[in-house]
Amino acid sequence: MSGRVHVAGVGLYATDYPDLGAWSRGAAQPGCEPAGELIDRRARRRTSALTRALADAYGEALGASGFAADEVAAVFGSALGEAATMIGILDQIYGGKNVSPMRFAMSVHNAASGVVSTTTKNRGITTSIGADFDTPAMALIEGIGLVAAHEVPVVVVCGDEQAPDDLVQGLDLSWDMLAVALVLAPATGGGDGPLLRVHARTPEGAALCALEDEQPPRAVSARLARSPQVGLLDVVAALQRGQGGYVRLDRGRGRGYVAELLL
């Protein structure tokens, strides 16, 4: 994809790391839970941990960008979506129990996008995407397209909760929760900051940036590295290091899309 945008803000929630600041310092906080402070208190009580993690990453990136919450478009990406909530509902149905309509509303793939856009009074475009291990790439491409078509900033936030055991039992697919957000804005050519574009594959002869777990002392755990969203974490890590170049968006489990960073 040839379109270029600049990265105006980033945010993160990861297992043991409540925000990008903690991650950048390597200051793990074992047992920390996503707060979901962007979401109003009444709605927050009904949300899942995944929705709150997405909201935390979204809010941190938006705050860093300086854009108003009601003026951005948004792309939410998740490979599994609210899988744990949905499996719980299916267990209730199988057991002959009644299912709460509100709980069902929180089980759909676009639950987080609906809650966040409502609580921030955002009337802009918001959409949800699921594309397995290519979710980060597809979400970025969608975001770049929205920037190009509407000339508005776009929050791209992707996340997945810990894979439910009932869903991945016996498979080497278990991972820890991770949510990563980037705010993409129109590139004016006036020193906006890091530029980003997405390619279907690494250009011939180009080298990929080193991965975060190849940069001691901070390392990505084996479980976090299996998350479908770890490619966005690799992009954020490269930006934090001030490293331009190509970052693979799927760590070898998808179709090979890469992000190009121009600093």
Look at residues 183, 186, 203, 195 and name the one whose alpha carbon lies nearest to residue 139.
183
pLDDT exceeds 60 at position 147: yes
Q: What's the chain's average pLDDT?
A: 87
Residue 113 belongs to domain spanning: 5-191
State the pLDDT confidence band at 68, using cuts at 50, 70 and 90: very high
pLDDT exceeds 60 at position 224: yes
Residue-wise pLDDT for 205-220, tens only, equals: 898 988 877 766 566 8
Residue 263 forms part of a structural domain: no
Residue 143 forms part of a structural domain: yes
Residue-wise pLDDT for 3-49, tens only, equals: 579 999 999 999 999 999 999 888 999 999 999 999 998 889 888 88
Average pLDDT over every residue of 99-128: 81
- Model pLDDT, residue 212: 74
- Model pLDDT, residue 1: 42
pLDDT exceeds 60 at position 104: no
Q: CB neighbours (10 Å) of residue 127?
A: 15
- Model pLDDT, residue 101: 58
pTM of the model: 0.90
Lowest mean pLDDT segment, chosen from 103-107, 113-117, 223-227, 241-245? 103-107
Residue 231 forms part of a structural domain: no
Residue 147 forms part of a structural domain: yes
| Count of the separate structural domains present in the chain | 1
Residue 250 forms part of a structural domain: no
Hey, which residues does 129 pair with through a beta bridge? Answer: 77
Residue 28 forms part of a structural domain: yes
Residue 259 forms part of a structural domain: no
- CATH number for the domain harbouring residue 23: 3.40.47.10
